[in-house]
Amino acid sequence: MATAKKIDVLTVSLDPKPGALAKVLTAFREAKVNLNASWAYQMGPGEAQAHFFAADLDRAKQVLTKEGKSPKTEPAFWVEDTDQLGNYQNVLQRLAQAGINVEATDAFALGGKFATVIFVAQNDVPKAAKALGA
């Protein structure tokens, strides 16, 4: 059975140019901020975004602010389970059965486990927490 917990994710805008994300990750490394997960992408010409799930949210915010970023905190869910066929679908199906639209999700598997980060609308967070058992 999947385990789920509500988390806070930091979101920042990035310049869509080489080294922008590496610069932020260097600042995290130098400040000894441990990241549980991160992902970034270009959103269109002239715009990119990065998300960070850090072990120490406040410290990560301080680093981002020092780097000239304006971090926004967003609620999300971190779900883990064994890497077996259908487990990710089961998680998404529980949300669908509760009438919750998934706004974004990113999933991966490694070492016999899978994990996913799921974003839902702010007003659906309590309902999603109940559906996921978080």
The per-residue pLDDT for 51 is 96
- Number of domains forming the structure of the chain: 2
Tell me, yes or no, whether 88 and 35 share the same domain: no
Q: Are residues 49 and 23 in the same domain?
A: yes
Number of other CB atoms surrounding residue 120 within 10 Å: 23
Confidence check: pLDDT of 75 > 90: yes
DSSP 36-82: EEEEEEEEETTEEEEEEEESSHHHHHHHHHHTT---EEEEEEEEEEE
> What is the per-residue pLDDT across 117-127, written as a single tens digit (0 to 9) for each?
999 999 999 99
Task: Indicate if 93 and 116 belong to the same structural domain.
Answer: yes
Dihedral of CA atoms 18, 24, 27, 32 in degrees, nearest 10, equals -130
81 shares a domain with 104: yes
pLDDT at 24: 96
Q: What is the CATH number of the domain that holds 115?
A: 3.30.70.260
pLDDT of 49: 94
Check whether residue 87 and residue 113 sit in a common domain: yes
Q: Residue 3 falls within a domain, yes or no? A: no
Residue span of the structural domain in which 70 resides? 8-74
Residue 69 shares a structural domain with residue 108: no
On whether residue 2 sits in a domain, the answer given is no
Question: Are residues 18 and 69 part of one domain?
Answer: yes
Domain for residue 61, yes or no? Answer: yes
Q: Can you read off the two tokens belonging to residue 8? A: 């806070």
- Per-residue pLDDT, 1: 72
The one-letter amino acid code at 24 reads V
Q: Is 4 strand, coil or helix? A: strand
Q: What is the pLDDT of residues 1-58, one digit of tens each?
A: 789 999 999 999 999 989 999 999 999 999 999 999 999 999 888 899 999 999 999 9
